[in-house]
Chain A
Amino acid sequence: MSFVTGTRVEPHISIAGPRDYFDLLKPRVMSLVIYTAIGGVLIAPGPINPVLAVAALLAIATGAGASGALNMWYDADIDAIMRRTRKRPIPSGRITRQEALAFGLTLAAFAVFTLGIVANWLSASLLAFTIFFYVIVYSMWLKRATPQNIVIGGAAGAFPPMVAYAAITGTVSLSSLALFALIFIWTPPHFWALALVKSDEYAKAGIPMLPTVAGPDRTRRDILLYTLLLVPAGALPYLMGFASIYYGLLSGALGLMFLVLAVRVYRHRTGDVANKIAMDLFKFSILYLFLLFAALILEKSLVHLSVLA
């Protein structure tokens, strides 16, 4: 006698490997988070315990990875539509949404708890808020609701240096807020340059990016306006006195190049040339942030090493 009747439902048996779960963490975003967070660690005044700093950076990176997994859990439907995201673990069928949700929540809890016991509960709270902001405020609310999605959502990507600084010092300072401002203002021109080229893909997925909703002309104007804000924001570490004149000169030169490219994007509006110039700006924006943080990391490392010596 059997208590179960009717057709037998085949159980879902996963064939996902560790690599698929690693892909859920958005490793490229995670590496950028680690990179900017190192900047946040090194601008902290006073001696830094290297073991605790590395442990804190690992916890922050894990928190960023958890946000990535939770973002993929929520955005699986639109990821399946866009060519750029179609091969992610959930749309390609290697991992189910439930598995991604459980993985993301578990990692998020471990990351926040670990940062709390390794560093302090202020930085752990900031990390928890960053995850909340990225998943709830950006992914679940703003992304599909407003063309200002990445302007406000950009805060999630700008928090890591602040979290890292708080992990080392136990406080939030103007210098860590300067790094927050730099990434926050950098985000819109960076994403909109890409969105100008990929606007069809975003429109197909129903995401209200600025070029799709307000048109490419308005987007070009806004890229230029944010770039005008970015030039002084990039120089803030020097202007506020926690970076050297060499950093100041580099930020000025890079800011000027950013501005030249933004003006070119503003002036060339049609054809393949316009797309190419927009992609040039997108690629340069990555180099811009990379070089500014590299300069900051280099000179702050030298300062810390000379103190140790």
Chain B
Amino acid sequence: MSLSPDNDGLNKAVQEPGIVLTPQQKKSRDHRNLAIALAVGFFVLLIYVVTIAKLGPGVLTHPAE
């Protein structure tokens, strides 16, 4: 006797391959992901550079001095 009446349905769901991307869809997704990664990386770099530029020479001054 099965503990869950849905076991058969669950097994079927596990066996189904789900959504399979075509090579073109997968390639487009990879390119989009790469573009997002580069954009986020560039944004982080921009904020870093702007922060340093705003601090100016004061970035090298120790607070205790």
What residues make up the interface of A, taking CB atoms closer than 8 Å to B? 1-2, 11, 13-18, 21, 49, 51-52, 55, 58, 110, 114, 117-118
* Cross-interface CB contact of B9 among A1, A58, A117, cutoff 8 Å: A1
Given contacts A1-B6, A1-B9, A2-B9, whether A13 and B50 have CB atoms under 8 Å apart is: no
Cβ of B46 and Cβ of A58 under 8 Å apart?
yes
Cβ of B57 to closest chain A Cβ, rounded Å: 12
Residue of A18, A58, A110, A114 with highest tally of chain B CB at under 10 A: A18
Q: Mark B1-41, 1 if CB is under 8 A from A, else 0.
A: 00001101100000000010100110011011011000000
Cβ of A13 and Cβ of B19 under 8 Å apart?
yes
Cβ of B50 and Cβ of A51 under 8 Å apart?
yes
Given contacts A1-B9, A52-B54, whether A13 and B31 have CB atoms under 8 Å apart is: no
Cβ of B25 and Cβ of A13 under 8 Å apart?
yes
Using A16-B32, A49-B53, A118-B50 as known contacts, list a sample of 18 further A-B pairs with CB atoms less than 8 Å apart, ordered by residue number in A.
Answer: A1-B8, A11-B19, A14-B25, A14-B28, A15-B24, A15-B28, A17-B28, A17-B32, A18-B31, A18-B32, A18-B34, A51-B49, A51-B50, A51-B53, A52-B50, A110-B43, A114-B46, A117-B47
Determine the chain B residues whose CB is within 8 A of the CB of A1 once the complex forms: 5-6, 8-9
The interface size of chain B toward A, counting residues with CB under 8 Å, comes to 21
Cβ of A262 to closest chain B Cβ, rounded Å: 43
Cβ of B43 and Cβ of A13 under 8 Å apart?
no
Cβ of B25 and Cβ of A15 under 8 Å apart?
yes
Determine the chain A residues whose CB is within 8 A of the CB of B28 once the complex forms: 14-17
Determine the chain A residues whose CB is within 8 A of the CB of B9 once the complex forms: 1-2
Cβ of A52 and Cβ of B32 under 8 Å apart?
no
Offer 15 A-B interface pairs, CB within 8 angstroms, sorted by A: A1-B5, A1-B6, A1-B8, A13-B21, A14-B25, A16-B32, A18-B32, A21-B32, A21-B35, A49-B53, A51-B49, A51-B53, A55-B50, A110-B43, A117-B50
Determine the chain B residues whose CB is within 8 A of the CB of A13 once the complex forms: 19, 21, 25
The CA-CA distance from A15 to B53 in the complex, in Å, is 40
Cβ of B33 to closest chain A Cβ, rounded Å: 10
Instruction: Give me the 6 closest cross-chain CB pairs, A-B, nearest first.
Output: A18-B35, A51-B53, A15-B28, A1-B9, A17-B31, A13-B25
